[in-house]
Structure 1
Amino acid sequence: MKRSNIYTIIATLAFIMLSNSACDKLLEEKPKATIALGALDPILLEQTIIGVYEPMTRSRGRLWESTVGLGFELMAEYADGGSVQLNWSNYNNVMNAPNSMAQPWTTLYEAIGRANLLIVNLDANTTLSDALKKSAYGEAYFVRAVCYYFAVRVWGKVPLRLKPILNSNDVALALSETNAIYDQIITDLKFAETALPATVVESKAGRATSGAAKAALADVYLTQGDYQKARDKAKEIIDNKATYGYDIEPSLNTVYSPTLATNKEDIFSLKFSQVQERGNFMASYWADSRAKAAGFSVSGNKFGGIMSQAPLIRDWDNNDLRKKLSVYNSYIINGVVTAAEAEPGIYDMRMGKYRDPNAPIDTGNGNDLYFWRYADVLLIYAEAENKLNGPTNAYAAINTLRRRAFGVSMTVPSAVADLPAGLTQTAFDDMVFRERGYEFIGEFKRWFDLVRTGRAAAVIGAARAVIPTPARKPIPTKFLFALPDVELQNNPLAK
């Protein structure tokens, strides 16, 4: 049984905020405020670290488990939000609406602020052991880097806050250029990979490790187009996978289990539990009104679906186990094959990757949300190696995943599963992009892959040519979201 969510400790227990203000005369105010943690001991330090992670997995924080997990997946060319989530399917609508990402922005910067607060208190602390402080620094820098990595890809220039906001005078901060933000992300992750442990005990599953920092670095380098560094960092993980306990799980059901605390493919994921308002909404968001009887979730919201006509889905081999897990148009109820609910003229399939029919409530699905799996490392390596040297040494990484997908031995060449030999560098790159689509469907990576590879217009255009209502998928005219009103109104320098 999955342990209780490690991030459910109330944040106020972790962050003891002391606000001091003074008034010398009846009408004379000195609006000074300081925010500090109590004297850090090992117990309070542990609570504080948990508090740093907490905003990321907050069920009502509308960050990764909700807005990103659902919304950014609906921005893929093969998905549609239907009548309920229209804006997420219309790129030009959602990306020009300042309020579309207001709550995620606030939650994101809350996590950043907590990481900054921990860092400055660690700087001031003289009682904790060096080993405890080093690991705590690593987790704080890791969380901050992950948050800014998301922010820079979504909004571009954002305020690069590296210190806690202690009073209203600290709110005004100019937007940083994207290169400066990426430099800071890399600096934080480089420190984290040296400070964090290689592994953590199962009771701490979901906490950052040195392997997670390395995987994040490889991904950042890939996004920047620095293929040498992306390839080298991914290979470092592959060559030392035993140190980190990583490998490909033979069964996809293990990877997406709603009850297991972790698995050997899990590099970094947000941990959710089968507890009311402590779970991941995804299983319920994607399922329809017969979710419970069909075996997908305790209830279904029907917040979006998959278009079978989109080229990625249309051309997906029916023998690929990833397809059978991830998309469906029917299910069996009481022994009878029943058509899944769809929206005629919009979408005809449902997303099935997240399943937890034994959840107590729709806010209590136990499925974790992956940021990086060992599969990411293999595909990062395959893409970067091919970009540098052609596909010769890149085949093995991608074929490992394809063999699992077709249910054959992952270590033996397979005529059924393996990519054809002799692909050109360009053709192999196209295959890596396709495999990322199949491997990570439902894991909110597709939009970012479309943008970073420069394929957005072509791929969305190809989908528009065949989907039922092409007007719902306009060719994007921009690739960054507008800054939310909450920042524009409070930060006079956010221009």
Structure 2
Amino acid sequence: MKHYKKPTLYALLLCSLMPVACENGLQEESYSVFDETTLTKPENGLQGVRGVYSALRDNGGNGYYAGYLHQLTEYPSDIVTTKPDSRQGIQLDQLTYDASNSIINDVWTSIFRLISRANESEYLIGKIDYVGNGESDEVKMQHLAEVRFLRALAYYDATSLWGDVPLNLKSSAEFVEADENPPLVAQSTIEEQIIIDLEFAEQYLPSSYPVEQNGRATQGAAQGLLARLYMRQGEWQKAADKCATIITGGIYDLRASSEGGVVALFDNMNRSDNEFIFVMKSSSEPGSYGILSNSFGIQSVPWDYNRGWGNFPIHREFYAEFSPQDQRRQLLLGTYKALYGQIVTLPKEFGGEGGSLPDTIQAQYTYGLKYPHTNNYNYAGYNNVSIIRYSDILLMRAEALNELNGPNNESISLINEIRERSNASSVDVSNFSSTEALRDFIFEERGLELFMEGRRRDDLIRWGRSATNGADPLLKFKERVRPLLRDQNTYSDAVNYALFPYPIQEIQANTSLNVGINQGRVRQ
């Protein structure tokens, strides 16, 4: 199993301090046991923690949470699309991907590289005498909690994308020959381990950090990820309770209108807003853990706007879903002046200005502005990438309460907090006659609030599962995605689009796997 051939832990720690020099040097190295006599200080434990955080970016400016993961979670959905010439991306967008898709392979590799680093760091930290070296046992437990939170996040992503995956909790020092070709483990078993790790993290992580250390996992981050997992499992009461713990904790809130509201929230100078519960910190500042930048800014906008690559165009029908008063619409390009002087605008039927002046061009797509791209040819975006946000917590609790009790005043109040912050009209419980009606509204609201934050694919699958009591998780996925395909016949009822195929590179490298495991995950 290629990604389990680990570098020495010394190399791992060195790369956590020198991310640019080591960025591409880990994947092919064979592992060996590190020298425990030299890595014995609490600062070595912290270096290990930093090495795990840096894996959130992985493999350059597009890796894992810096870009590729969003291609798996947003392209096969009803909001984001891609350009016809984006090669591997068009396969994801049009559901023509197979086991050889490079983006699927890259995300798999990134996830298990992070897991590998977490395991190495957990082992290292466990061996270090923090107290005997002038540091507290509390700091040791915090370091362990950080790496276990990150491992839980990686396994949450892996199970969301593939379902059953290998489960590895060992460092290279503990490996035996059988660990080189690990079998698939049931998703339910892995979810049990995710909960164990997150409950440990919830116990030992701090509630907050100094502002310059934003981007480190907190107790609220562990609680938020637990809530997300419980939502996926349909454990509505557990999800509602975990969200309530965050809400009543007083640590997080929505960025108020007086502070610039949701538009200012995504300004690239907004480094530490307490609406962000957990982010991939993207910065050259101290404490960024080697994650210097991300590619979202240049990927999100088109060339004629600011010389971007435009690889994340958004269906113009989505722009039309916002009322003109809704400030969240300002996070999309509706009308803009192109570099060459023309006015580019969406047609009026999609909420744009339309018009037929000589210098007016009808836009075929809108584009997201949540990841600001400043200055021409600025390939490095230094805005943080949202992973868990407070508004998501509010909407998850609203959804869970609706599944438990049907339309209720608290769910409506939580929804209105978000809508009123963005100057959208409020709703009333009397507007919803059934659980189904409010459920549909909540998922529409989640799209408006969380677009291009990596949540839509999971949402569509959970929506279908709830709407059919688990009988057809792809109901809403098919209903929303199929009409937007360039060829609707591409959609096959014989394919389970809730699960991606296992990468062909993994199948070829791991003797526990065979090509038959992708039966039903790709078109035959």
Same fold (TM over 0.5): yes
Does 2:162 correspond to 1:164?
no
The residue aligned with 1:264 is 274
TM-fit CA distance, 1:330? 2.2
User: Would the aligned equivalents of 1:70 and 1:282 in 2 still touch at CA under 8 Å?
Assistant: no
Distance change >3 Å, CA 420–CA 480, structure 1 → 2: same
Distance change >3 Å, CA 36–CA 212, structure 1 → 2: farther
Q: CA RMSD in A?
A: 3.2
Counterparts of 1:338-353 in structure 2, within 5 Å, are: 338-339=343-344, 347-353=364-370
TM-fit CA distance, 1:51? 0.8
Count of residue correspondences = 452
User: Would the aligned equivalents of 1:14 and 1:47 in 2 still touch at CA under 8 Å?
Assistant: no
Counterparts of 1:58-137 in structure 2, within 5 Å, are: 58=58, 59-60=60-61, 62-85=63-86, 86-91=90-95, 93-94=96-97, 96-97=99-100, 99-128=102-131, 129-137=136-144
TM-fit CA distance, 1:173? 1.1
TM-fit CA distance, 1:486? 3.0
User: Would the aligned equivalents of 2:346 and 2:364 in 1 still touch at CA under 8 Å?
Assistant: no
Query: What is the CA–CA distance in structure 2 between the aligned matches of 1:8 and 1:125, rounded to whole Å?
Result: 18
The residue aligned with 1:421 is 430
Query: What is the CA–CA distance in structure 2 between the aligned matches of 1:396 and 1:122, rounded to whole Å?
Result: 44
Distance change >3 Å, CA 12–CA 491, structure 1 → 2: farther
TM-fit CA distance, 1:494? 3.2
TM-fit CA distance, 1:168? 7.6
User: Would the aligned equivalents of 2:300 and 2:313 in 1 still touch at CA under 8 Å?
Assistant: yes
Query: What is the CA–CA distance in structure 1 between the aligned matches of 2:429 and 2:299, rounded to whole Å?
Result: 38
Q: Which runs of 5+ in 2 are unaligned?
A: 1-14, 348-360, 465-472, 515-524
SS at match of 2:17: coil
With a CA cutoff of 8 Å and minimum separation of 6, indicate the structure with the bigger relative contact order: 1
SS at match of 1:49: helix
SS at match of 1:453: helix
- The amino acid of 1:317's aligned partner reads S
TM-fit CA distance, 1:87? 1.0
Q: What whole-Å deviation, never above 9, does each CA across 1:244-264 have from its counterpart, x for those lacking one?
A: 344444311332121222101
Q: What whole-Å deviation, never above 9, does each CA across 1:81-140 have from its counterpart, x for those lacking one?
A: 12123212122x225546441122222111111111111222222344311111011001
User: Would the aligned equivalents of 1:72 and 1:444 in 2 still touch at CA under 8 Å?
Assistant: yes
The residue aligned with 1:141 is 148
TM-fit CA distance, 1:302? 1.9
TM-fit CA distance, 1:353? 2.3
- The amino acid of 2:156's aligned partner reads Y
The residue aligned with 1:193 is 202
Q: 1:386 aligns with which of 390, 402, 412?
A: 402
Distance change >3 Å, CA 164–CA 341, structure 1 → 2: farther
User: Would the aligned equivalents of 2:100 and 2:505 in 1 still touch at CA under 8 Å?
Assistant: no
- The amino acid of 1:189's aligned partner reads L
Q: 1:488 aligns with which of 495, 500, 507?
A: 507
Does 2:216 correspond to 1:207?
yes
User: Would the aligned equivalents of 2:94 and 2:486 in 1 still touch at CA under 8 Å?
Assistant: no
TM-fit CA distance, 1:371? 1.1
TM-fit CA distance, 1:290? 2.4
Q: 1:287 aligns with which of 301, 320, 333?
A: 301
- The amino acid of 2:315's aligned partner reads M
The residue aligned with 2:468 is none
TM-fit CA distance, 1:490? 2.5
TM-fit CA distance, 1:487? 2.1
Does 2:379 correspond to 1:373?
no
Q: 2:486 aligns with which of 463, 466, 469?
A: 469
The residue aligned with 2:265 is 255
Q: What whole-Å deviation, never above 9, does each CA across 1:367-390 have from its counterpart, x for those lacking one?
A: 221111110110010000111112
Distance change >3 Å, CA 140–CA 377, structure 1 → 2: same
TM-fit CA distance, 1:448? 0.9
SS at match of 2:303: coil
Distance change >3 Å, CA 12–CA 340, structure 1 → 2: closer
TM-score between the two structures when normalised by the length of structure 2: 0.78
Q: Which runs of 5+ in 1 are unaligned?
A: 1-6, 18-30, 293-298, 408-415
TM-fit CA distance, 1:308? 2.0
Distance change >3 Å, CA 419–CA 271, structure 1 → 2: farther
User: Would the aligned equivalents of 1:14 and 1:44 in 2 still touch at CA under 8 Å?
Assistant: no
- The amino acid of 2:92's aligned partner reads W
Distance change >3 Å, CA 47–CA 175, structure 1 → 2: same
TM-fit CA distance, 1:334? 8.6
User: Would the aligned equivalents of 2:313 and 2:367 in 1 still touch at CA under 8 Å?
Assistant: yes
Query: What is the CA–CA distance in structure 1 between the aligned matches of 2:296 and 2:384, rounded to whole Å?
Result: 9
TM-score between the two structures when normalised by the length of structure 1: 0.83
56-65 or 472-481: which moved more? Answer: 472-481
The residue aligned with 2:45 is 45
Query: What is the CA–CA distance in structure 2 between the aligned matches of 1:452 and 1:458, rounded to whole Å?
Result: 9
The residue aligned with 2:238 is 229
Query: What is the CA–CA distance in structure 2 between the aligned matches of 1:176 and 1:462, rounded to whole Å?
Result: 31
Query: What is the CA–CA distance in structure 1 between the aligned matches of 2:304 and 2:364, rounded to whole Å?
Result: 17
Q: What whole-Å deviation, never above 9, does each CA across 1:185-233 have from its counterpart, x for those lacking one?
A: 0110011000100001112110000011001101110011000100000
SS at match of 1:339: strand
Q: What whole-Å deviation, never above 9, does each CA across 1:279-327 have from its counterpart, x for those lacking one?
A: 22111112111233xxxxxx31121312223xx54433232111221x2
384-393 or 215-224: which moved more? Answer: 384-393
Of all paired residues, the percent bearing the same amino acid is: 25
User: Would the aligned equivalents of 1:141 and 1:189 in 2 still touch at CA under 8 Å?
Assistant: yes
User: Would the aligned equivalents of 1:346 and 1:468 in 2 still touch at CA under 8 Å?
Assistant: no
Q: What whole-Å deviation, never above 9, does each CA across 1:138-175 have from its counterpart, x for those lacking one?
A: 00110000000000010111111101234682312111
Query: What is the CA–CA distance in structure 2 between the aligned matches of 1:417 and 1:337, rounded to whole Å?
Result: 37
TM-fit CA distance, 1:70? 3.6
Query: What is the CA–CA distance in structure 1 between the aligned matches of 2:412 and 2:316, rounded to whole Å?
Result: 28
TM-fit CA distance, 1:354? 1.8
User: Would the aligned equivalents of 1:160 and 1:181 in 2 still touch at CA under 8 Å?
Assistant: yes
Query: What is the CA–CA distance in structure 2 between the aligned matches of 1:267 and 1:487, rounded to whole Å?
Result: 33
User: Would the aligned equivalents of 2:255 and 2:275 in 1 still touch at CA under 8 Å?
Assistant: yes
Counterparts of 1:398-413 in structure 2, within 5 Å, are: 398-406=415-423
Query: What is the CA–CA distance in structure 1 between the aligned matches of 2:63 and 2:31, rounded to whole Å?
Result: 32
User: Would the aligned equivalents of 1:227 and 1:385 in 2 still touch at CA under 8 Å?
Assistant: yes
The residue aligned with 2:314 is 306
TM-fit CA distance, 1:491? 2.0
Query: What is the CA–CA distance in structure 2 between the aligned matches of 1:106 and 1:354, rounded to whole Å?
Result: 25
Query: What is the CA–CA distance in structure 1 between the aligned matches of 2:222 and 2:385, rounded to whole Å?
Result: 17
